[in-house]
């Protein structure tokens, strides 16, 4: 009996010892896992630590694949957008010559005919000239040799000199002088040497669309009413022909030429009105930027700088602004009064002021520009 109790006691002590060892081992494994976890987090934070990292940097890193896709799609579809602009503009011009112009010559007075012929062809020449110059003129790129420039920074993407107002275009993969933006409708960057061509194209295209919309308003109403009448008569003729044989079906009431004429007029008015609204808003936006002496990129930079200095009790002054009127003179290249006719109202391939590498005061500016900061 005692031997049995001794054996049972030994077995129980052995089981308790095993359970105690298993618990210690389990606790030791948990502690080792926690130590590995904390060590891994410390290593990861040490590798990714950056004192300049914030929420904006993290979001930019997350959206980098999307930016890459958009840049490549825009680069390859630029030719398609240019062809689309040329095709749509050519179709509008063809409709004007085929549909609107004959009616103008038949119904308008000689004075109005001269006005339409003069203004329409002048507007068309200005649109074609400025669009061709905008897509074929290089926006300007800084030289690769740093010896040619003084006091410039280095672009972190192309590792090249970066003068003031120069920015890197991720689509063209080059730095652009006085870069405003990359325009897919031009398949080109808008920069120092073609900024005037881009704005002039937007302005004259908007004026041309407004001209076509106003001139074709009465024709649009008549064409739209004729199309609705066509649909109604076709429905009635189908109901009548349903009770007749194949050989008794009446011929169509309207010819193909009449249908094409009315639909072309409706297409012209809808397209011109839509483009006038969209492109007109873009033109007004760029006109406001030109008045302030800014580009689209500089507006965001100056806004952040203005807010930063405002917290310190300082006032930000744009160093590239000479005042609203002088900003327009510098942008358009108007040095003398006759340039408003020869360089603004007529096609002119004159170069802008300066080289885009330095920004000295142009000769057409009468006032000294304000300092960068005024405390």
Q: Which of 100, 113, 101 is nearest to 222 (CA)?
A: 100
Please compute, for residue 60, the number of CA atoms within 13 A of its CA located in the half-sphere on the CB side: 5
The pair of three-digit structure tokens given for residue 10, joined into one six-digit string = 């030994």
Strands, DSSP E only, in the chain?
Answer: 153-154, 161-162, 167-169, 174-176, 181-183, 188-190, 315-316, 373-374
CB burial of 255-270 (b: ≥16 within 10 Å; e: otherwise) equals: eeeeeebbebbbebbe
Q: Return d(Cα 305, Cα 194) in angstroms, integer.
A: 27
Q: Which of 171, 197, 170, 168 is nearest to 179 (CA)?
A: 168
Q: Return d(Cα 200, Cα 103) in angstroms, integer.
A: 30
CB 139 within 8 Å of CB 179: yes
Angle, CA of 157, 194 and 153, to the nearest 5°: 30
DSSP designation for 54? -
Angle, CA of 250, 256 and 260, to the nearest 5°: 145
Collapsed DSSP state (helix, strand, coil) of residue 102: helix
**Known catalytic membership, residue 183:** yes
The pair of three-digit structure tokens given for residue 351, joined into one six-digit string = 């170069």
Catalytic residue among 99, 169, 172, 183: 183
Q: Which residues are catalytic, by number? A: 183
């Amino acid at each position: 009996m005692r031997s049995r109790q001794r054996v049972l006691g030994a077995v129980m002590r052995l089981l308790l010892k095993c359970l105690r060892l298993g618990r210690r081992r389990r606790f030791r494994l948990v502690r080792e896992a926690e130590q590995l976890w904390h060590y891994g987090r410390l290593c990861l934070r040490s590798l990714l630590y950056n004192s300049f990292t914030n929420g904006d940097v993290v979001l930019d890193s997350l959206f980098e694949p999307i930016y890459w896709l958009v840049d490549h799609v825009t680069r390859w579809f630029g030719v398609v957008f240019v062809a689309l602009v040329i095709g749509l503009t050519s179709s509008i011009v063809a409709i004007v010559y085929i549909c609107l112009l004959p009616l103008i010559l038949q119904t308008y007075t000689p004075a109005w005919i001269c006005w339409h012929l003069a203004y329409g062809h002048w507007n068309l020449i200005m649109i074609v000239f400025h669009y061709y110059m905008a897509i074929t003129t290089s926006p300007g790129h800084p030289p690769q040799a740093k010896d040619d420039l003084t006091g410039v920074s280095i672009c972190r993407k192309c590792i090249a000199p970066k003068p003031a107002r120069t920015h890197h275009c991720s689509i063209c993969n080059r730095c652009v002088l006085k870069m405003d933006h990359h325009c897919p409708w031009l398949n080109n960057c808008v920069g120092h040497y073609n900024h005037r061509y881009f704005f002039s194209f937007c302005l004259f295209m908007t004026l041309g669309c407004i001209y076509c919309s106003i001139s074709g308003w009465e024709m649009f109403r008549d064409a739209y009413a004729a199309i609705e009448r066509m649909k109604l008569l076709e429905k009635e003729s189908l109901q009548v022909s349903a009770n007749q044989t194949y050989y008794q079906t009446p011929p169509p009431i309207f010819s193909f030429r009449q249908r094409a004429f009315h639909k072309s007029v409706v297409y012209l008015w809808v397209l011109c009105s839509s483009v006038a609204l969209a492109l007109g808003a873009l033109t007004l936006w760029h006109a406001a930027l030109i008045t302030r002496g800014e580009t689209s990129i500089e507006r965001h930079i100056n806004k952040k700088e203005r807010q930063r200095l405002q917290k310190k009790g300082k006032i930000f002054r744009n160093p590239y602004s000479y005042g609203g009127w002088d900003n327009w003179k510098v942008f358009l290249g108007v040095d003398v009064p006759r340039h408003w006719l020869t360089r603004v109202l007529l096609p002119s391939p004159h170069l802008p002021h300066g080289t885009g590498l330095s920004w000295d005061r142009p000769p057409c500016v009468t006032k000294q520009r304000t300092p960068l900061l005024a405390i």
